[in-house]
Amino acid sequence: MNAPDQKTNRPAEEEIVLNCRGIVKQFPGNLALDHVDFSVRRGEVHALVGQNGAGKSTLVKIITGVYTRDGGVIELDGTEMPLRSPTEAEEAGISIIHQDQQLVHNFDVKRNVFLGREIRKGPFLDFDTMRKQTQEVLDMIHVRFGPDDLIKTLSVGEREQVSIAAALLQKPRILILDEPTASLSLKETEQLFQIIRDLKSQGVTIIYISHHFDEIFEVSDRITVLRDGKSIQTLNVKDCNKREVIEIMIGRNVSQLYPKKEIEKGETILSVKNISLRNKLNDVSFELKKGEIIGVAGILGSGIADLANVLFGIVRPDTGEISVYGSRTDIKNPRIAKQNRLALIPEDRRTEGFVSGMTVEENMSFAFAKRYRQGPLYSRKKGAAEADRIIRLLSIKTNDCNTMIDSLSGGNQQKVVIGKWLEGDSGIFIMNQPTTGVDVGSKVEIYNAISDLVADGAGAILISQDFEELLGMCDRIIVISGGAVTKIYQYGEAEEKDLLHYATVSVKAGES
């Protein structure tokens, strides 16, 4: 195993550390990787992008020895490697930090970092040595906690740093980060990037997997694009732009990444006046018209998620009033919200949006099951007919309505969650981060679905941390920071940096 040592301080431009040539992986009925070439230079940050199903995770699993390849050659520093098991890959100096890095919350940092490869002195654990070595890797990434701190006392971002420390302990030549920022706040993401830059300067080679192009362009040197199991192109970040990469990735010209339609605005359907919620929201007011998409921009913890909860009756505000379709309504609970034609697309579709282990039809019909009665019983036939209609309407990719929802892609699952509300006569859609964790292609389809909804006379509130999609899709954008509205933009008025500015401007809580 090679420590990141002095001689690698100045990475030679053309020195290839990992070279994959002609990698083939065949699954039953599916050629997952079709002669993929992928080469990584020493000391670079190399982004790997592609839509879900393009073969990113299969390729990573082959590099980390989880899958065995059916063809092709992998060379590490010019030596051919079989990489038949995760242990072999680890010994070869390849470490991965998974998307949902799991830690034992009741253990301290050193126990977590060493879990599975504990150091022993005789029959007992050697905590002193483990503490010392943990401190060494923690020093490498400049963290604010120590080896003896319990995981449960750390923030989400710090927990991610623990995972990185655990990977660094193995002195990897190549460190793979799989969607590392999925649950991080902006500030934590910034810290992660600093760590990545530090590691890079210490000679560690990094493979970075992400759906977020802003991050990729900020932190990486080169990008390899996979599509349909093939390696399409490797680009220098300096010589390309975001749109270019997206087009290569989805393999067609995105004339309109954001399919915003020109829609005539109707009467006001939702009016929110002076909503406050202790420590969360401060005097928020806005109106939503028929045919309108309103964006709510804010960072993690700014109160944007609480706004969704208030609108759908999950949390009751302390003060303020809400009028729905012209009449003042006390939305006490989600049932009343539903009766008033409100619909919620929740933030976490996996736990709140759909029921895993049920079919597409069952998931679509339970919100309005009453409508499909035959006598006192639920009628499968009526439910299925309606489900089929919505599958066609939103062009949901599924075999039929009896397919288990779990087997659908993330974007299509989200469309089922949206479609569920179409069976009722919902007219006000509250969407809390509907495109989190879905790839670009699916995003476009979700945007299309939203556009169709409002064209049909609905109104939508799009709550998001992805400012680019707000700028692309929304007629108006309300920026929230510290629970208060800091700025309102009309379509076309703002740029991403403006939103970011007003989303991070500090507002004293409790001030009105």
Partner 1 sequence: MNKNSTKLNKAFWEDLILRRGTMIGMIAIILFLGLRAPSFFRVKNLMDVLKQSCILILVAMGQTVVLVSGGFDMSAGSLLQLTANLAAGFILAGMKTPSVLIAGIAVGLAVGLVNTFFVVMVKIPAFVATLAMMLVLSGVTTWYNKGKSITLSNEPGFFFLGQGYIGPIPVLFIITVAVMLLLHVFLKKTKTGLRMYSVGENYAAAMLHGISKKKALLISFMLGGALIGAAGVLQASYSYGASTMSTTLDFLLQALAASLLGTTFSRTEELSVIGTAISALFISSLSSALIANGVSNLLQPGLLGLILVVSVMLTVIKKREIGQVTIF
Q: Please give the residue ranges that form the binding site for partner 1 (CB under 8 A).
A: 86-87, 98, 100-107, 111-112, 115-118, 120, 123-125, 144, 149-150, 152-153
Residue 106 or residue 339: which is nearer to partner 1 going by CB? Answer: 106
For residue 290, what is the DSSP state? T
Answer yes or no: are the C-beta atoms of 459 and 491 closer than 8 Å.
no
Tokens at residue 335, please? 């049932």
Shortest distance, position 149 Cβ to partner 1, whole Å:
8
Answer yes or no: are the C-beta atoms of 290 and 266 closer than 8 Å.
yes
Residue 127 or residue 447: which is nearer to partner 1 going by CB? Answer: 127
How far apart, in Å, are the Cα atoms of 420 and each of 353, 363, 394, 416? 10, 7, 11, 6
Shortest distance, position 108 Cβ to partner 1, whole Å:
9
Q: Where are the alpha helices (DSSP H) in 72-126?
A: 86-91, 109-114
DSSP codes of every residue in 169-195:
TT--SEEEEESTTTT--HHHHHHHHHH
Residue 98 or residue 371: which is nearer to partner 1 going by CB? Answer: 98
Which phi and psi angles does 42 have, rounded to 5°? Answer: -65, 135
Contacts of 373 (CB under 8 A, 6+ apart): 379, 382
Shortest distance, position 295 Cβ to partner 1, whole Å:
31
Residue 66 or residue 240: which is nearer to partner 1 going by CB? Answer: 66
Shortest distance, position 29 Cβ to partner 1, whole Å:
28
How far apart, in Å, are the Cα atoms of 162 and each of 58, 102, 195? 25, 10, 12
Q: From the CB of residue 110, how many other CB atoms can be counted at a distance below 10 Å? A: 27
Which phi and psi angles does 224 have, rounded to 5°? Answer: -110, 130
Residue 184 or residue 428: which is nearer to partner 1 going by CB? Answer: 184
Residue 87 or residue 327: which is nearer to partner 1 going by CB? Answer: 87
For residue 285, what is the DSSP state? E
Residue 121 or residue 243: which is nearer to partner 1 going by CB? Answer: 121
CA–CA gap between residue 467 and residue 299 (Å, rounded): 10
For residue 357, what is the DSSP state? T
Answer yes or no: are the C-beta atoms of 247 and 51 closer than 8 Å.
no
Residue 112 or residue 134: which is nearer to partner 1 going by CB? Answer: 112
Cα Rg of the chain, angstroms: 25
Shortest distance, position 299 Cβ to partner 1, whole Å:
22
Residue 70 or residue 149: which is nearer to partner 1 going by CB? Answer: 149
Contacts of 138 (CB under 8 A, 6+ apart): 109, 145, 146, 147, 165
